Chains A and B, each alone.
Chain A
Amino acid sequence: QSVLTQPPSASGTPGQRVTISCSGSSSNIGSHTVYWYQQLPGTAPKLLISKNNQRPSGVPDRFSGSKSGTSASLAISGLRSEDEADYYCATWDDSLSGRVFGGGTKLTVL
């Protein structure tokens, strides 16, 4: 059971906008920046968003991140079939003195 809570699943149709939430506390999201990762089936994860809302080079601008208080969100606009993957948030936790991942959200493109 992770200290970062994500919905286990999300879905949308092509072209839609979907958001994935990541809920934490003052000891993690409330005090530290949030990162988001995409894991396509059978592959290693890939960094999507760093420091709450920064997109690394090569990541489409359809992906965006935000943070407010002790929660963060990943938004995907113009949904495509290739976005079907697992998505994870991550940050540092002061209470655990370690890095933590959310439980992951499986995104299905209907």
Chain B
Amino acid sequence: EVHLVESGGGLVQPGGSLRLSCAASGFTFSSYEMNWVRQAPGKGLEWISYISTSSSPIYYADSVKGRFTISRDNAKNSLYLQMTSLRAEDTAVYYCARGWFDYWGQGTLVTVSS
């Protein structure tokens, strides 16, 4: 059974940094593209980043380009999102999702506030 488990969320001050992780199991992680998607409180889904199986190419939404970095470790079956220069508008539940979002994790909440 496919499982995606995000971790690393929490409360961070504006301008701060945070690193999210997504542990994958139940499938051959190295064979699948992966994504990060976020959802601000009471709002819709926003795709923010994509990484291919070999880590190239990588794509970002304009809203996070230059501030967030997606990466993966196929040996550890893990996906990461390094977030820097965080803003209040980055407050959201962050989900990792496989391929064309056929499986999702349960999400991890990131709150950016002073």
Using a CB–CB cutoff of 8 Å, the interface residues on chain A facing chain B are: 2, 35, 37, 39, 44-47, 50, 56, 86, 88, 90, 96-104
CB distance from B69 to the nearest CB of A (A): 15
Kindly report which residue of chain B lies nearest to residue A56, judged by CB atoms. B102
Does B47 contact A100, Cβ atoms closer than 8 Å? Answer: yes
Given A44-B95, A96-B62, the answer on whether A35 and B100 have CB atoms closer than 8 Å is yes
* Total A-B residue contacts, Cβ distance less than 8 Å: 53
Interface size on B, residues (CB 8 A): 20
Kindly report which residue of chain B lies nearest to residue A50, judged by CB atoms. B100
A99 to B100, CA, bound (A): 9
Does B95 contact A98, Cβ atoms closer than 8 Å? Answer: no
**Interface of chain A: mostly helix, strand, loop or mixed:** strand
Contact residues in B for A47 (Cβ distance below 8 Å): 100-103
B35 at the A interface (CB under 8 A): yes
Using a CB–CB cutoff of 8 Å, the interface residues on chain B facing chain A are: 35, 37, 44-47, 50, 59-62, 95, 100-107
Does A45 contact B104, Cβ atoms closer than 8 Å? Answer: yes
CB distance from A14 to the nearest CB of B (A): 26
CB distance from A58 to the nearest CB of B (A): 11
